[in-house]
Amino acid sequence: MLKRVFIANRGEIALRVIRACRELGLISIIGYSEADKESLPVDLADEKICIGPASPIESYLNIPSILSAMEITHADSVHPGYGFLAENPFFVEICNASRITFIGPSPDNLRLMGDKSRARTTITENRLPVIPGVDNLIDIEDAVKKAKKIGFPVMIKASAGGGGRGMRVARTEDEFRIYWPACQQEAKIAFDNPSLYVEKFIERPRHIEIQVLADEKGNVVVFPERDCSLQRRHQKLIEETPSPAVDASIRRKLQKIARKICRAINYRSAGTIEFLMSGRHVYFMEMNTRIQVEHPITEMITGFDLVKNQIEIASGERIRYPRCFVDFAGHSIECRINAEDPEKNFMASPGEITGLVLPGGPGIRVDTHIYRGYKIPPYYDSLIAKLISYGRTREEAVVRMQRALKEMKVEGIATTIGFYRKILEHPVFQSGRYYVGWLEKMQEESKNKDMGSSLS
pLDDT in tens, 186-226: 988 888 889 998 999 998 999 999 999 999 999 999 999 99
Q: Which residues of the chain have pLDDT under 70?
A: 161-164, 449-456
Alpha-carbon gap, residue 89 to 97, rounded angstroms: 12
Letter string b/e over residues 368-391, b meaning 16 or more CB atoms within 10 A of that residue's CB: bbbeeebebbebbbbbbbbbbbbb
The reported pLDDT for the residue numbered 163 is 62
The reported pLDDT for the residue numbered 120 is 84
Contact 190, 158 (CB under 8 A): yes
Alpha-carbon gap, residue 51 to 372, rounded angstroms: 25
Virtual CA dihedral for 146, 148, 154, 160, nearest 10 degrees?
A: 10
pTM of the model: 0.89
Q: Does domain 206-445 sit in CATH 3.40.640.10?
A: no
Q: Which residue from 360, 361, 421, 409 is spatially nearest to 384, judged by alpha carbons?
A: 409
The reported pLDDT for the residue numbered 341 is 97
Supply the residues annotated as catalytic: 290
The reported pLDDT for the residue numbered 359 is 98
The topology (CATH level 3) of 4-103 is: Rossmann fold (3.40.50)
Domain chopping of the chain, boundaries: 4-103, 132-200, 206-445
> How distant, in Å, are the alpha carbons of 80, 234, 358 from that of 386?
19, 18, 11
Tell me whether strands 206-214 and 154-158 are parallel, antiparallel or unpaired: unpaired
Q: Which CATH architecture does the domain made up of 132-200 adopt?
A: 2-Layer Sandwich (3.30)
The reported pLDDT for the residue numbered 313 is 98
